[in-house]
Amino acid sequence: MAYRRGASEIASIRYRRIYSHTVNTRCPLAETLENAFPWCAEWEAELKRLFRAYVEAKQRENVLDYDDLLLYWADMMEEPALARLVGERFDHILVDEYSRPFCSERATMATSSKLSSRGEGSRSSNTVA
């Protein structure tokens, strides 16, 4: 029998996509909903509460998610001294799941002079992940 996702799992996936899109495009939630998820616009207040609680939980537990890592990397590469140090230390940068079309990932790649991009599931022992 084929696996079927339940309604709560589908909702969870949608919430993560909306959150990730909002964070990575650095757009207000209202703009994200209007442009990318118009069918969810009526839930803006609830989504704000959910996302605020998620950020507070991450901060409380001192953890980062994938979106945080992308944003920190992009911000780091905007600092010339840090970008130079990273460029001197690493020959290549492996970006997993590069196909995700978010602005911070594209900005990250634009600031990285050397890039090894592989599709999901690819691994290389000679590349820093």
Write the pLDDT tens digit of every residue in 56-80: 999 999 999 988 988 888 888 888 8
Q: Is residue 126 part of a domain?
A: no
88 shares a domain with 57: no
Quickly state the pLDDT bin for 1 (edges 50, 70, 90): low
The angle, 0 to 180 degrees and rounded to 10, between the axes of the packed helices 66-77 and 103-111 is 40
For position 3, what pLDDT does the model report? 53
For position 102, what pLDDT does the model report? 55
Q: Is residue 123 part of a domain?
A: no
- What is the number of structural domains in the chain? 2
12 shares a domain with 56: yes
Q: Is residue 74 part of a domain?
A: no
What Cα–Cα distance (Å) separates residue 93 from each residue in 17, 23, 49, 87, 113? 25, 22, 35, 10, 9
Q: Is residue 125 part of a domain?
A: no
| Residue 105 · residue 98 · CB < 8 Å | yes
89 shares a domain with 50: no
Domain that holds residue 90: 80-117
Partners of 7 in the beta sheet? none
Residue 103's CB is within 10 A of a number of other CB atoms, namely 15
pLDDT, tens only, 78-109: 888 988 898 889 887 776 655 555 555 555 55
The candidate with the shortest Cα–Cα distance to 120, out of 99, 93, 104, 92, is 99
pTM of model > 0.85: no
